[in-house]
Amino acid sequence: QVQLVESGGGLVQAGASLRLSCAASGRTFSNYFMGWFRQAPGKDRDFVAAITRSGLNTYYADSVEGRFTISRDNAKNTLYLQMDSLKSEDTAVYYCAARGVFSTATMRTSDLYDYWGQGTQVTVSS
């Protein structure tokens, strides 16, 4: 089992920045491929970003490429999402997720992640 707890969400104005954190406990954090997803009201849970176990490779949704940065600190068992130039359409609940199997072909598929946090609300006012 891996327990994930997100933090860092809040209410900000368009153009501002936020940094989300996801603290992991339980099994060895560095064994897991990690991702961030988000879900806006009435919409599906969408892929935001993903990072390999070592942190050397990162992947982004087109909608956040160049504005968001995913990173991890395996020594601190923590995943991050730096969000810059926020837009109103970034408003959503943000979730971190972990999976034991790495696949760029399926990393955007939320159903294939094994563990999830409870989510943190990000609201961007225009």
SS (H, E, C) the chain: CEEEEEECCEEEECCCCEEEEEEEEECCHHHCEEEEEEECCCCCEEEEEEECCCCCCEEECCCCCCCEEEEEECCCCEEEEEECCCCHHHCEEEEEEEECCCCCCCCCCHHHCCEECCCEEEEEEC
Q: Is the pLDDT of residue 22 over 90?
A: yes
pLDDT at 104: 86
Q: Is the pLDDT of residue 42 over 90?
A: yes
40-69 mean pLDDT: 97
The model's pLDDT over 63-117, given as tens digits with 9 standing for 90+, comes to 999 999 999 999 999 999 999 999 999 999 999 999 998 888 899 999 999 999 9
What percentage of the chain reaches a pLDDT higher than 70? Answer: 100
pLDDT at 28: 92
pLDDT at 44: 95
* CB neighbour list of residue 43: distance below 8 Å, 6 or more residues apart: 92
